[in-house]
Amino acid sequence: MESTQQSIVSEITLDSIIEKHQGKPGLLLTTLEEVQEVHPLKFLPHETLTRLSQKMRIPYTQMYSVVTFYSFFNLKPQGKHSIVVCRGTACHTKGSKGLLDEISTVFGIASGEIDSEQSVTTADNEFTIKTVACFGQCAQSPVVAVDGVIYSNVNSQKLLKILAKVNDKPLSIRVK
Ligand code: FES
């Protein structure tokens, strides 16, 4: 049952996902990916990782290293929509810090909180905002991904349009 934010994925679901990927290349990554996908809040709770570790006979520390190495794995509940701002050098030079500050302002998040945390989710669970080291598309910087769609050469106006479209209502973002 998935009744609370900290709920775990059911034993039956875990067993069926493990069985599906058994013996295939990349077993651990694909299993973790699918387990995260089936969680309604798109994250991997500690209890779920512990059960997976036991069931797959993979040390918890190894599993945890994988989850913390890849940025697409989440250890905290995620909002309905995701916003990922690139903070690599090229994007920083082209103003990604300003975009992050604007996003913080729009969603009432303390300045600097997003950069220092793995991710920040708005109180209404609508948006999770996080940063990434580089999307590998530096020539199109600054780059922002919203719900998995990559947007390049993003400025405040473009950001406003993207967020308004996703949120289905206007947002009071400052337009430069
Ligand atoms: S630094 Fe942003 S895409 Fe590479």
The predicted-structure confidence for 52-101, as pLDDT tens digits, reads as follows 999 999 999 999 999 999 888 999 889 989 999 999 999 999 999 999 99
Nearest CA to ligand 1 atom 1: 88
Q: Ligand 1 atom closest to Cα of 137?
A: 3
Q: Could you report the per-residue pLDDT of 117-167, keeping only the tens digit for each?
A: 668 998 888 899 999 999 999 999 999 999 989 999 999 999 988 988 887
59 and 109 in a single domain? The answer is no
88 and 24 in a single domain? The answer is no
Is 138 near ligand 1, meaning CB less than 6 Å away?
A: yes
> Does the residue 120 lie in any domain?
yes
Query: What backbone torsions phi and psi does residue 93 show, to the nearest 5 degrees?
Result: -60, -35
d(CA 46, CA 10): 13
SS3 of 10, please?
Answer: coil
112 and 53 in a single domain? The answer is no
Q: pTM of the predicted model, to two decimals?
A: 0.75
Count of structural domains within the chain: 2
Is 135 near ligand 1, meaning CB less than 6 Å away?
A: yes
36 and 108 in a single domain? The answer is no
87 and 162 in a single domain? The answer is yes
Q: Which domain holds residue 17?
A: 11-69
Per residue in 7-17, is it b (16+ CB within 10 Å) or e — as a string? Answer: bbbeeebbeeb
> Does the residue 2 lie in any domain?
no
Is 154 near ligand 1, meaning CB less than 6 Å away?
A: no
> Does the residue 76 lie in any domain?
no
Average the pLDDT over each of 29-33, 79-83, 168-172 and give the range with the smallest value: 168-172
Show Cβ contacts of residue 10 under 8 Å, excluding neighbours closer than 6 positions.
Answer: 1, 2
101 and 29 in a single domain? The answer is no
